A and B are shown apart, each in its own frame.
Chain A
Amino acid sequence: MDKLLNDFSPGLFVVSTILLLALIALMVKFAWKPILNSLNEREEGIQGALDAAENAKKEMENLQADNQKLLQEARLERETMLKEARELKAKMIADAEEEAQAQARKMIEQAQAAIDSEKKAAMAELKSHVAGLSIDIAEKVVRKELSSKNNQLELVEEMLGEATLN
């Protein structure tokens, strides 16, 4: 301990204190402050750049999601449109069929009506014709037949016989 204290030089202590104080002051002023400031600035810059990149990435992702959504929507729309068109087509075909059928039915009905009326007319005509013809025949027959009394009686007899048979 004594030797240690003997080695201790107060003068050197004072000198080194002064030198160190000066050194610390100068180093802080001319070296550490600017160095640490620029290091901090650089780190903040790097952090900022990283943040910006992260943001850009996120935005990109958002954009991509948006795109995806739009695409999805478009696809959906197309599908509905197609579906509608298909439905429309089916409906149109059905309508057309129905109409055609109705038309046909109507035409048939008309034809039938026409046929009926024709038939009636024809029948009436036929009837009147047949009536006229039979009257003619009857006239002729009567004229010829009724020329003799026997014939007349015969006829009456015949007719009576038929009438009872009926």
Chain B
Amino acid sequence: MKIFQQSFKFLALVLFVVLPTSIFANDTKKEGGQVDTKEEVEAYILHHIQDSHDFSLFSYTNDAGERKHVGFPLPVILWTSEGLVTFMSSEFHHNDDGSVIVEKDGLKFAKIHSKIYELDKDASEVKFDEDHHATNGHKVLDFSITKSAFGILIIGLLMLFWFSKLARQYKKKQIPTGFGRVLEPLVLYVRDEIARPNIGEKHYRRFTGYLLTVFFFIWVLNLAGLTPLGFNVTGQLAVTACLAIFTLVIYTASGNKDYWMHILWMPGVPVLIRPVLAVIELAGALLIKPFSLLVRLFANISAGHIVVMSLIAIMFTLKDSLGVVGATGLSFVLSFFITLIEVLVAFLQAYIFTMLSALFIGMAVAEHEHH
């Protein structure tokens, strides 16, 4: 069993290292690549902040002047005007400005700024208007397993693996061993410091599962975003919106009579003012709370990524004025400390999201004493 496990790990490692290079060995492109100027850095950072359709670790230019990308493609799943279309993202050849057109099932697709457009039937290339919007194509519903979706999958599986292992440990012994010993206090922390005090002794059990999942999901993905793998999952509006809407649905669905009463027809307030307040309260409960949740997480993580990458980019942008050593040193020191802060922020944002979710749920299920 032990040997099997070890060999499995080794195999995974080998695959992880060899597979990407082998897949992309023939995938070359002369243009693009080098990031030197301020504009290029900005474009690169914005590109990183966005989701991408393939998983690229890094790219380099070989001796022959060809651009090599190391990484692996991810499946593209599109819901087009003629139904479902799937292909691998490698067919775009890392192009992101719409100049490579993929023909599939009689439809033409182009990728512009990480968005996939379906071109009109007769178009042979993408035409842009002055605002750089494509004029002869339209966006399609893109259910691709993008980098973010892939990250969610991987982290989800990892979490499932860790915590189901911990759960299985409890069947045999009272105190977990190994990595479980690290996880147990975290679980207890979320339960005793976030769920229990904010929701209340009576109801917290129902919501602890959700809060734990969200906490670890956000935290681990935040941390994954700090690794060179370059995930920016919690910096995707779609993901944070999804999380915020989950919380919204949960506290709206579990709100008791008192909760709705206090929103719609609050006692102790003059009758004339009640409708006005009701509108405000309703907007607060249904829009502002989830909006602040989703924007906070998105903005914090995106800002962190932008700052770290900008500080790394000091290496190129200040090379001329500070010299290679000076620019590299400055960049290293600054980005090192900001990365440390980002590690803290990764935890803090997970904590705050979970904490506020618990608080909102607690407000919805609180039992008021009638006076």
Residues of A with Cβ closer than 8 Å to B?
4, 7-17, 19-20, 22-24, 26-28, 30-36, 38-39, 42, 45
Known contacts A9-B142, A35-B163, A35-B167: A23-B217 contact under CB 8 Å: yes
Quick check: B167 and A12 within 8 Å, CB to CB? no
Please determine whether A27 and B143 come into contact, CB atoms closer than 8 angstroms: no
Given contacts A12-B146, A32-B209, A32-B212, contact A23 B159 (CB under 8 A): yes
- The chain B residue with its CB closest to the CB of A7 is B237
CB <8 Å contact, B163 and A27: yes
| Chain B 315-334 interface 0/1 with A at a Cβ cutoff of 8 Å (1 = within) | 00000000000000000000
Interface contact B143-A14, CB-CB below 8 Å: yes
Is the CB–CB distance between B170 and A35 below 8 Å? yes
Q: How far is the CB of B362 from chain A (nearest CB, A)?
A: 18
On chain A, the residues within 8 Å of B152 by CB distance are 15-16, 19-20, 23
B223 lies within 8 A of chain A by Cβ: no
Interface of B is mostly: helix
Take A16-B149, A33-B209, A34-B167 as given contacts and tell me if A26 and B241 are in contact as well, using a CB distance cutoff of 8 Å: no
Number of A-B pairs whose CB atoms are under 8 Å? 124
B213 touches A24 (CB 8 A): yes
In the complex, chain B residues 303-320 whose Cβ is within 8 Å of any chain A Cβ: none
Given A20-B243, A23-B217, A10 contacting B160 (CB threshold 8 A): no
Of the candidates A8, A11, A30, the one whose C-beta lies within 8 Å of that of B164 is A30
* CA–CA, A147 and B347, complex, Å: 173
Question: Which residues of B line the A interface, CB within 8 A?
Answer: 50-51, 79, 115, 141-146, 148-149, 152-153, 156, 159-160, 163-164, 166-168, 170-171, 174, 184, 187-188, 191, 205, 208-210, 212-213, 217, 236-239, 241-243, 245-246
Cβ B209 vs Cβ A9 within 8 A: no
Please determine whether B164 and A31 come into contact, CB atoms closer than 8 angstroms: yes
How far apart sit A24 and B163, CA to CA, in the bound complex (Å)? 12
Q: Collect the chain B residues with CB atoms within 8 Å of residue A9's CB.
A: 51, 115, 142, 146, 236-238
User: A31 touching B163 by the CB < 8 A rule?
Assistant: yes
Determine if A12 and B212 form an interchain contact, defined as CB atoms under 8 angstroms apart. Answer: no
Chain B residues with Cβ under 8 A from A8's Cβ? 237-238, 241
User: Does B191 lie within 8 Å of A36, measured CB to CB?
Assistant: yes
Q: A11 touching B160 by the CB < 8 A rule?
A: no
**Min C-beta distance of B361 to chain A, whole Å:** 14
